[in-house]
Each structure stands twice: as C-alpha cells, then as structure tokens.
Amino acid sequence: MIPNLNIVPFVSVDHMMKLVLKIGVERFLVEVADYIEDDFRRWELFDKTPRVASHSAEGVIELMPTSDGEVYGFKYVNGHPKNMREGRQTVTAFGMLADVHNGYPVLLSEMTILTALRTAAMSALAAKYLAPAGSSCMALIGNGAQAEFQAVAFKALLGVDRLRLYDIDRTATEKCIRNLADLGLDMVACGTAQEAVEGADIITTVTADKQYATILTDNMVGSGVHINAVGGDCPGKTELHRDILLRSDIFVEYPPQTRIEGEIQQLAPDHEVIELWQVMSGAVQGRRDSGQITLFDSVGFAIEDFSALRYVRDQLRSTGLYQELDMLADPDETRDLFGMLLRAAQQG
Ligand SMILES: NC(=O)c1ccc[n+]([C@@H]2O[C@H](COP(=O)([O-])OP(=O)(O)OC[C@H]3O[C@@H](n4cnc5c(N)ncnc54)[C@H](O)[C@@H]3O)[C@@H](O)[C@H]2O)c1
C-alpha cells in the first residue's frame, strides 16, 4: 500500500513567492533556464501540439499540454489585456504534472508568477545563443507585469546592466524602475519607443494589446540587434512591423504554434524559421555574424511550463514549501467509490 494516495502537493501563490525568495530571483531564473535548456535538448522525446485556444472578444483562455513519456504536464493560462484596467492580471495561470504510468497528478501549482519567471528565463536563454556578444544594453518596451522578470533574467544570464524603458503609461515605467532599483542597473526612462531602442544591443517588446500593434517599425531596428518579441502571442496580436521580419533571422519555439500566434503570422506559412531546440542541441548555428538581426518570436510553449514545473517539484522535498491537497478520491476498496460516499454520509 502506498500511503496518502489522495494527496497531491500544491504550491500556492504564497508558497511560490517564498520559494522564489528563498532561492533568490536571479538563481531561480538561471536554474529554470537550465531545466528548459535540458528539455529543449531532448525535444524529440516530447508530445507536442499547438496550445488549445478558446478566443473571445476580450481575450483568450488556453490549455498547454505535453509529456516526455514519463511525466505529463499542462498549464491553464489566460490573456486578457483589458483586465489590467479592471484591477486584474492580464495573464493568470496554474498547472499540473502527472505520472504517465498511473495518471495520478504529482503536483498542482500556481503559475501566474511561474509563467513570468519561465517566460523571462526562456527569453534570456534564447538571447544567450542569439544576442550580439557582450550585449549590455536592452530596450524594454512595455513595463507591465512581465517586465521586471525580463530585466532580471537578462541581467542574470547575459550580464545586461543598462535598461532603456518605455511604456505608453509612464506610471508603469516608474513602477519598473522602483522595483529594479536595488539591482545596480543603469536605467533610463524614455519618452518614446524610438528613444528606447537607441544604442540598445537587445530590444525586448512585452506589451499587451488585443489587436495588431506596431511597437517597432523598420527604421527603428539597426543591423546586429537582437529582438526578443514577447507580447505578440495570439492570432491578430503582434508587435512588429512586417518589414522587420523580412530583414531578420527568425527563431521560434514550436513552428506549428508560432505560425498561428507569433509575429510570423504576418508572413507566408512556409517562410523560413529556425527552431531553437536545434540551436540548443548544436545542430544549427544561432548568431552567425555581428550584422545579422536575430528575432526570437516568443509565444510560450508547453515544454517551458513543463520544465518550470519540473524545477518547482524538485525543490519541494528540501524546502517543504507546499500544502498537501486532498485532491484524489481514494476509497478503501478501489471499486467502492459509491460506498465511500455513503460512509461519509454516515459520519455526518
Ligand atoms: N511569449 C510568452 O511566452 C508570453 C508569456 C507571458 C505573457 N506574454 C505576453 O506579454 C505581454 C505583456 O504581459 P503583461 O503580463 O506584462 O501585461 P500587462 O498588461 O501587465 O503589461 C503590458 C504593458 O504594455 C503597455 N503597452 C500597451 N501598449 C503599448 C505600446 N503601444 N507601447 C508601449 N507600451 C504599451 C501597457 O501600458 C502595460 O504597461 C502580453 O501581451 C502577454 O500576452 C507572452
């Protein structure tokens, strides 16, 4: 008999915050990036499918499943840009891991914070292969919930120590600068996106808008720059002018999903893209030369969430930062599910 078959470890928002703070945000990001890189290097093992999206006039709700044959994982995530104005998050998420061999969940976790961490870890990991050598200055356009995580990840993984920030809402930029004040970064609040990209080695766009937006126009992108385009991640929701895409080498997570959701939805369905797992496994070169414009057309793929959940699960035993959730019915006799209900009624 295995004890406590009814119990699933649950990582609440409170426990997630304690876990991140105990490990340290920078170390957490570096270690999640390592887990993502490990999983991207065994990419072919995974079940892969574009995420299942349910669109409405105001946003999207998505399910993101994957499995490596031993462990199954999925994330529930939404994207509702108008939420911010109503005091809600644009993006919220939770996720689960399960044992493939018996189907029992082995972890349930909040993923709103974890998504911001994994997205930033993925961005910085991609940039490690694609950004110009010695990159130290990043434009950060869109200073909402994801922004600081991006900044910290680029500092931790690439040593980026200068930020040029821009948001249409000045208070968002001020919030970002306040939150990052203790990190020793040189930060400049800019009045326009054009001003923000001046002198930047890396341009991160992480804005939220339900419709096609043009955060960057072609004239704003000089040769040799790396673009980390995070905010365009839904059909009809993009951030870059199409001409930029035509001048860039485009790197993606999972092409069938990115062609639906990414910046490349603006291009022909057979436009050449490079899969990041192939760059990470050494089969394909990342950045070739200093004049090349590289673009990570980030949309967020299920394997990154799987890696992040795997990382969190590996921390549970040593930290104890979880609750025991009575989540699975476990009758004394496996077929007597109804009897379990009757006995509960007798016990009042
Ligand atoms: N690629 C991924 O893996 C991934 C993961 C998470 C979130 N996202 C996307 O990232 C985006 C940002 O998410 P968030 O949680 O930070 O949202 P948020 O609503 O908290 O912040 C978005 C910010 O963008 C600003 N903004 C909107 N239009 C702008 C413009 N034209 N120029 C400059 N700033 C502008 C807003 O004022 C706001 O401060 C969303 O589109 C979200 O869907 C992508």
Q: How far is the CA of 340 from the centre of ligand 1 (A)?
A: 48
pLDDT in tens, 233-257: 999 999 999 999 999 999 999 999 9
Residue 233 falls in the annotated catalytic set: yes
Is 304's pLDDT higher than 60?
yes
Q: Is the pTM of this model over 0.95?
A: yes
| pLDDT in the model for residue 277 | 98
Q: Which residues pair with 117 in a beta bridge?
A: none
Q: What is the distance between the alpha carbons of residues 135 and 281, in angstroms, rounded to a whole number?
A: 23
Asked whether 53 lines ligand 1 (CB < 6 A), one says no
Q: What is the pLDDT of residues 19-52, one digit of tens each?
A: 999 999 999 999 999 999 999 999 999 999 999 9
Terminal CA-CA length for the chain? 27
C-alpha to C-alpha distance for 89 and 101, rounded to whole angstroms: 36
Structure confidence at residue 3 (pLDDT): 63
| Across 44-58, 148-162, 200-214, 241-255, least confident range | 200-214
Measured distance CA(249)–CA(288) in Å, rounded: 10
Closest-CA residue to 95 (of 106, 81, 82): 106
Indicate whether residue 142 lines ligand 1 (CB < 6 A). Answer: yes
Amino acid at 227: I
Distance 129 CA to ligand 1 centre (A): 24
Identify the band that residue 348 occupies on the pLDDT scale cut at 50, 70 and 90: confident
Quote the Cα angle for 253-120-115, to 5°: 85
Mean pLDDT, rounded, for 2-29? 95
CA of 16 to the centre of ligand 1 (A): 22
> What mean pLDDT value characterizes the chain?
96
Per cent of the chain over pLDDT 70 is 99
- Give me the amino acid identity at 19: L
- Evaluate whether 274 touches 249 at the Cβ level (below 8 Å): yes
Mean of pLDDT values over 81-105:
96
> pLDDT (tens digit, 9 = 90+) per residue, 94-119?
999 999 999 999 999 999 999 999 99
Which residue has the least CA distance to atom 37 on ligand 1?
A: 169
CA 235, 241, 247, 251 torsion-angle sign:
negative
